[in-house]
Amino acid sequence: MYLEIVSPEASLVSGEIESITLPGMDGEFQMMNNHAAIVSLLCEGKVTFSGTPTIAKGFENKFKQEGVKWVLEITGGTVEMNNNKVIVLAD
């Protein structure tokens, strides 16, 4: 599936991933390829994903690598998943 993470500063990430875990209002949830369409609010926490997306130049320091996964801490936002494309609008 394809991931885009956008913040008020810039588009931070774009590219193919295998899975993503997000901090939802009622707890963490994970999405994988062919997940049902969804729109959800996000709360403060970690966005964790695995795969080989491109991290925008100059924003690499916002991400931590934990094994084969990438981690981005957010204070809130929204996520939309539709047709194997995940768009995270992160604060």
Residue 63's domain comprises 2-90
Distance, in Å, from the CA atom of 35 to the CA atom of 39, rounded to the nearest integer, reads 12
Q: Looking at residues 24-39, what average pLDDT do you find?
A: 94
Distance, in Å, from the CA atom of 2 to the CA atom of 58, rounded to the nearest integer, reads 21
pLDDT > 90? residue 28? yes
Mean pLDDT of the chain: 95
CA proximity to 88, closest of 25, 12, 18: 12
Q: How far is it between the farthest Cα atoms of the chain?
A: 33
> What's the pTM value of the predicted model, to 2 decimals?
0.92
Q: How many domains does the chain have?
A: 1
8 Å CB contact between 91 and 47: no
Provide the CATH number for the domain around residue 48: 2.60.15.10
Residue 32 CA, chain-centre distance (Å), reads 12
